[in-house]
Amino acid sequence: MQTLSETRCFGRTQHVLTHRSEATGTDMTFGLYLPPGAAAAAPVPLLWYLSGLTCTHENAMVKAGAQAHAAEAGIALCFPDTSPRGEGVADDDAYDLGQGAGFYVDATEAPWSPHFRMKSYLAGELPALLARHFPVDPGRQGITGHSMGGHGALTLAMTDPGRFRSVSAFSPICNPTESDWGRKQLTAYLGPDTERWAEADATRLMEATGLDIPLLLDTGTADQFWDLLGTEAFAAACARARAPAQIRLQPGYDHSYFFVSTFIADHIAFHAEALWS
């Protein structure tokens, strides 16, 4: 690993680091905030924040206002990138495919399959790297995310049972197999067989396996992308599965980081309750 920056933040440090990833075959950059009190003899819980389309590790790290609440709760925060990047990495002219739009899946189709392996990166490689080098407790993890990152948080929580104690999401893409924010990308990354898309769709996963950890979901009623998110389908699937879910519609809020920063304290408190219990 190489340290790109270390910045004093609410009594401890906001790190930005880069490393060579075996999963993606590229250099990957991520942010890691460690709260006061984190030490080898006292590792702290870890909350993952997955960002949305066009974002890097930096968007939520700078805009969400999460560090103050994480410091108070004694929780570390990891902000991964949204896709592999760099020379030789496939891309597309559209904002919602290619670099910045990895959708947290392992691509099987050309030209994406050599590098677009974000699920493997986040399910195995990066968590192991953090556990080796930083005072975080791999037995106490939660996951959250926004938009495409909310999709990633939900699907990772449901396809990696036992790893997370809690999951939350801001305006997640909940039903991508039925959305223009999904069908295009899943066809490109996973091929045209829609049965192969099931593990990348939180609504289908909820219907198939349910969820046995606490879930908090916030979406704004003025979200300009409401028709692409599938919130209603996911809520119905949660009800049928009797999942322990809180699904909140926030009056007048849109899809922006103003919305995320308004409710980030609620989400960190929600995770802290599960992670410190």
Q: List the catalytic residues.
A: 147, 223, 255
| Residues paired with 94 in a beta bridge | none
Residue 69 structure tokens: 């609440």
Residue 22 structure tokens: 């075996």
Beta-carbon neighbour count of residue 25 at 10 Å? 15
Nearest to 125 by CA among 180, 78, 175, 167: 78
| Residues paired with 216 in a beta bridge | 168, 246
Residue 51 structure tokens: 């960002």
β-pair type (215-220, 164-170):
parallel
> What's the rounded Cα separation, in Å, for the pair 69 and 215?
19
* AA letter at 25: G
DSSP H or E segment with residue 120: helix 118-120
Distances, alpha carbon 238 to alpha carbons 32, 186, 204, 207, 246, in Å: 32, 23, 10, 8, 10
Residue 124 structure tokens: 């195995």
Nearest to 75 by CA among 28, 124, 35, 108: 35
